[in-house]
Amino acid sequence: MAYSVALAGKGGTGKTTMAGLLIKFLLKKNKTPILAVDADCNANLNEVLGLKLGDTLGGAREEMKKGDVPSGMTKDVFMEMKLEEAVLEAEGFDLVVMGQPEGAGCYCAANTLLTNYLERLSGNYPYIVMDNEAGMEHISRLTTKDVDLLLIVSDSSRRGLQAAVRISELARSLNIVIGKSYVVINQAREAPPEPVINKLKEANLELIGTVPADDLIYDYDFNGRPTIEMPEDSISVKAAFEIFDKIVA
């Protein structure tokens, strides 16, 4: 059974970068193959992983809803074909991009088919890493119903921490099972002050570690270089790997 890790956090905290570093960590530990799922409507996990964006599952769902299924092909066969086309293959991991959120109208049939195929696809991977939008509804609608580890990425700002608390509360209110939840403070300029730690404790959230601000991440992003290719001796990669060593089975 796959070990699934879902990452969430408000915009700008670096959760997608953290998802990429987690995949880098799993590759180093030979915990492969990995299924990477980009469930953020603003999809950019492919850039962090050095892959060109291809077909999305949202696009397949739209085609089916509009009736663009080829003559003589059932919806089941069509969706299976589209799912296979949407899987971007790389060395040690594959990437599936959810795509844009749903439009008007009923998507029940398409979502049911999509969920079934995703669950079957997930069975081929011992590890799943899901990069989610802050709301996390994509986990409830389209991906696995069980999450072994919820990693909430925040910065040390008041708004970032408030978002972390809301995400934790929302995730637990959805129809999914969450094994463990942790908070990571990313882009930290200094150690988190006591009030920050107390705020998380009040919300029953455990701070598992901090990742320091790293100019190298900015340089890689600015120059269009995949973050997954960052050297392991960089301060952010070392800190992230120390965290993952503590929490990833």
DSSP secondary structure, the chain, as one string:
--EEEEEE--TTS-HHHHHHHHHHHHHHTT---EEEEEE-SS--HHHHHT------HHHHHHHHHTT-PPTT--HHHHHHHHHHHH-EE-SSEEEEE--SPP-SS--HHHHHHHHHHHHHHHTT-SEEEEEE-TT-HHHHHTS-SEEEEEEEEE-SSHHHHHHHHHHHHHHHHSS-EEEEEEEEEEEESSPPPHHHHHHHHHTT-EEEEEEE--HHHHHHHHTT--GGGS-TTSHHHHHHHHHHHHH--
Give me 235's structure tokens.
């301060």
Domain residue extents for the chain: 3-247
Query: What pLDDT is attached to residue 149?
Result: 94
The answer to whether the beta carbons of residues 212 and 155 sit under 8 Å apart is no
Between the CA atoms of 206, 144, 54 and 131, what dihedral angle is there, to the nearest 10 degrees? -10
State both tokens at 32: 């492969």
What distance separates the 2 farthest-apart alpha carbons in the chain?
Answer: 64
pTM, whole model, 2 decimals?
Answer: 0.88
User: pLDDT in tens for each of the 249 residues of the chain?
Assistant: 789 999 998 888 999 999 999 999 999 999 999 999 888 777 889 999 999 988 887 777 777 777 778 888 887 788 778 878 888 999 999 998 877 655 555 545 555 655 677 777 888 999 999 898 776 666 655 454 678 999 999 988 888 888 888 888 888 787 778 899 999 999 988 877 788 788 888 888 999 999 999 999 999 999 999 999 999 999 999 999 999 999 997
- Note the pLDDT of residue 141: 58
Nearest CA to 20 among 59, 42, 47, 39? 47
How confident is the model at residue 142, as a pLDDT?
47
Q: Which amino acid makes up residue 113?
A: L
3-247 classified as CATH 3.40.50.1820: no
Rg (CA), the chain: 18
Q: Are 2 and 122 in contact (CB under 8 A)?
A: yes
What pLDDT does residue 77 have? Answer: 84
